[in-house]
Amino acid sequence: MSRDPRHDVLFEPVAIGPVTAKNRFYQVPHCNGMGRTFPSSMAAMRGVKAEGGWAVVSTEQVDFHPSSDLTPGTECRMWSDEDVPCLARMCDAVHAHGALALIELAHNGIYAANLYSREAPIFPSHMPLVGSVPAQARAMDKRDIREYRRWHLEAVKRAKRAGFDIVCCYAAHDLSVAGHFMLRRYNHRSDEYGGSLENRVRLFRELIEDAKEAVGDTMGVVARFAVDEMRGADGMEWDKEGREIVEMLAELPDLWDVNVADWDNDSQTSRFSEEGFQEPFISFVKQVTTRPVVSVGRYTSPDRMASLVRKGVLDFIGAARPSIADPFLPRKIEEGRPEDIRECIGCNICVSWNQVMSPMRCTQNPTKGEEWRRGWHPERIPAKATDDTVLVVGAGPAGLEAARAAGQRGYAVTLAEAGESLGGRVARECALPGLAAWGRVRDYRVYQLQQMGNVEVYPASRLDLAAVLELGASQVCIATGARWRRDGFGRAHQAPIPGADGANVFTPDDIMDGATPPGPVLVYDDDHYYMGGVIAEKLAAAGLAVTLVTPEITVSDWTRNTLEHGRVVARLMELGVELITGHELGGIGGQESRVRCVYSARERVLPAASVVMITSRLPDDALYHALTADETRLADAGIRAVRRIGDCHAPATIAAAVYEGHRFARELGESPADIPFRRELTALAEEFALP
């Protein structure tokens, strides 16, 4: 296939100072939960992006001194020469595919508690640390500022030795000391680094000038700057000091990487923002500088990307999350097959696993984080190893991915779905408020299956034990999902809640099936992710009086990790939902329910004509157990193995279901080891020839 001529502009080379990017696709710095802890995984993950066509591939933030120690975070470090080999490994992986490697040097100030280094935190002014650590950062004196510049410059020079082509001077996301100096609410100084805007910008200017003088002949120098904080006059505003700063430094860096702060704003989920929502904040930058400009917008449409370049909004299409969902996005556009892009759904599962200090994963891309550990490639998969035929029962996210990946391997696959439509929980949940983009999980896989002649799909085909045995597939995969429990069993309750067997008790499945409970409604959320919030939002938007009760200290607590917690709470408040936190559901009556404080055990009675129970789920695994109850019967039917995957195996996230479907297909014909992936310890043992 040939590339659409309208997209040719995306494949023009662009100079970044002394280096040239081969096209306009720029993977901006993003965290990944690997970093220095899992450097082989980090390097391989970045290398795959370079292979996929990204012209610039960046690190995450790399802290450059022990006074910015982010332990237990897993970001990279450039404290000393000992850190160079780890990052050089990434450069090698990126250069192997003709891409430029960028390092983002950072010092997080009040966000760095220095739990490992035990250094005193530093900041423009005296300020308590962000978070619960009982400590403060001390105000930097002139000597500290000189040392700060020296640390940064030494890290720049080490980056050059490591093989980086571009260095990014970081003042974005409310995470950088250089950026903090610019903000009036943080900078209370009266010397030449405080007061006027020119003084507050001085340190950022000096960092850029130092880098240009040291490496500017061979490395590009980027300014990454948040032009707006989306907090009005209390913060940076794009049409005031944000614009003035860009004008002040307009031609100094080789490229401007502009966005909004903080991270919660920059990486908003699709539940609360559209693609390209940052454009009104950053579109002025090209008007005040001749340097190339990059920004992000969760862009997946090549038409939209090309339009941004032609209109003079951007020179580079920046991406973090879309490059995670599909590392080969540029290559697919270049080859004229944009319909094959695994479009980012904006769920921020990638962010959340970094937030819990673990290697990232992706709902759309089950190979994310497994490039080195398991040797999984996002586009390539080994051809089938046997002549097995495969039956997949259930076309939810796990079943769709199992059928797609097994079909890609060349197996003859039959996919049977009990319902009229494909998608399982994805098809149901994407109809809930704000979750429409999640339907891309289904849409991508259904389209791929439609291109495969070796995969047959049968909707409205509920299979029982006899039907599975009669079909005679040698490999059977059960992906029949799970259903929400009605009895209240969950984290807070390990026994049924009194009254939960009443006719006025509903589950999310009932609501998604179209049930409208009578009001007032009590939504009891012991799940703590998105479901409680979206069900409450749906019912409140329908005009019902809704009270959301949760045993946690806040509603939808786990959405802190997806950077949307504040917006979840604000949305529910705007809709008039009453929020009662730190309370368990004690009993359900006809028109009221009892709730109990988890701290004091004091009870109160709430009006509740109906209760929606969001506690836990039970796997729909009856077919699996029926099949595996008699091995002789399986053998007689020619069935060599039966495996359950996804929510049928262990209810979890959609990302976990997709991963299990992919793993099933990868492991067909194999006997996985007890530890079915490589570890960094193993690599070290091999390096030193340990027994």
**81-91: buried (b, 16+ CB within 10 Å) or exposed (e) per residue?**
eebbebbbbbb
Q: What mean pLDDT is reported for the chain?
A: 96
On whether the CB atoms of residues 523 and 545 are closer than 8 A, the answer is no
Between 679 and 98, the higher pLDDT residue: 98
Does residue 691 carry a pLDDT above 50? no
One DSSP character per residue, 481-541 reads -EEE-SS--SSS-SSPPTTTTSTTEE-HHHHHTT--PPSSEEEEE-S-SSHHHHHHHHHHH
Tens-digit pLDDT profile for residues 578-617: 999 999 999 999 899 999 999 999 999 999 999 999 999 9
Active site residue 228: no
**Dihedral of the alpha carbons of 138, 141, 146, 150, in degrees to the nearest 10:** -10
Active site residue 31: yes
- The answer to whether position 373 is within a domain reads no
* Total length of the chain: 691
Locate all alpha helices (DSSP H) within 575-671, ordered by sequence.
622-628, 631-636, 654-666
Indicate if 273 and 422 belong to the same structural domain: no
Indicate if 606 and 640 belong to the same structural domain: no
Tens-digit pLDDT profile for residues 93-117: 999 999 999 999 999 999 999 999 9
- The answer to whether position 374 is within a domain reads no
Indicate if 545 and 625 belong to the same structural domain: no
Tens-digit pLDDT profile for residues 3-42: 999 999 999 999 999 999 999 999 999 999 999 999 999 9
Active site residue 524: no
Choose, from 107, 173, 649, 662, the residue flagged as catalytic: 173
For the ranges 126-135, 315-324, 433-442, which has the lowest average pLDDT? 126-135
**Which amino acid is it at 27?**
Q
Q: Using only the alpha carbons of the chain, give its radius of gyration.
A: 27
Domain count, the chain: 3
On whether the CB atoms of residues 272 and 266 are closer than 8 A, the answer is no
Q: In 307-359, which ranges are E strands? A: 316-319
Choose, from 26, 111, 170, 299, the residue flagged as catalytic: 170
Indicate if 10 and 107 belong to the same structural domain: yes
What three-state secondary structure class fits 652?
coil
Indicate if 635 and 659 belong to the same structural domain: yes
Choose, from 26, 31, 411, 444, the residue flagged as catalytic: 31
One DSSP character per residue, 160-218 reads HHHT-SEEEEEE-TT--HHHHHT-TTT----STTSSSHHHHHHHHHHHHHHHHHHHTTT
Q: What is the DSSP-derived secondary structure letter of residue 303? A: H
Q: Which residues contact 126 (CB under 8 A, 6 or more apart)?
A: 136, 137, 138, 139
Helices 565-574/531-541 angle, 10° precision? 20
The token pair that represents 90 in the structure block: 């990434």
Indicate if 160 and 175 belong to the same structural domain: yes
Indicate if 402 and 453 belong to the same structural domain: yes
Q: What is the pLDDT of residue 686?
A: 59
Position 690 confidence tier, pLDDT thresholds 50, 70, 90: very low
Active site residue 649: no
- Arithmetic mean of pLDDT, 237-244: 97
Indicate if 435 and 506 belong to the same structural domain: no
Q: Which CATH number covers residue 613?
A: 3.50.50.60
- Of 80, 104, 103, 79, residue with least CA distance to 91: 103
- The answer to whether position 602 is within a domain reads yes
Q: Which CATH number covers residue 442?
A: 3.40.50.720
- The answer to whether position 497 is within a domain reads yes
Q: What is the pLDDT of residue 673?
A: 86
Position 688 confidence tier, pLDDT thresholds 50, 70, 90: low
Choose, from 63, 210, 264, 266, the residue flagged as catalytic: 266
Tens-digit pLDDT profile for residues 218-239: 999 999 999 999 999 999 999 9
- Arithmetic mean of pLDDT, 481-495: 96
The token pair that represents 667 in the structure block: 């492991």
d(CA 256, CA 248): 13
Any idea what the Cα angle at residue 661 is, between residues 660 and 666, rounded to 5°? 90
d(CA 267, CA 354): 14
Tens-digit pLDDT profile for residues 55-90: 999 999 999 999 999 999 999 999 999 999 999 999
Q: What is the pLDDT of residue 131?
A: 87
Helices 197-215/142-162 angle, 10° precision? 30
Q: Which CATH number covers residue 217?
A: 3.20.20.70
pTM of this structure: 0.95
Q: What is the pLDDT of residue 670?
A: 85
Indicate if 291 and 157 belong to the same structural domain: yes
Strand partners, 484: 617
Does residue 648 carry a pLDDT above 50? yes
Indicate if 303 and 256 belong to the same structural domain: yes
Give the sign of the dihedral formed by CA 247, CA 250, CA 253, CA 256: positive
Indicate if 330 and 429 belong to the same structural domain: no
- Give, in order, the Cα–Cα distances in Å from 131 to each of 112, 125, 352, 444, 545: 10, 17, 17, 39, 35
Q: Which structural domain, as residue segments, surrounds residue 423? A: 389-481+620-666
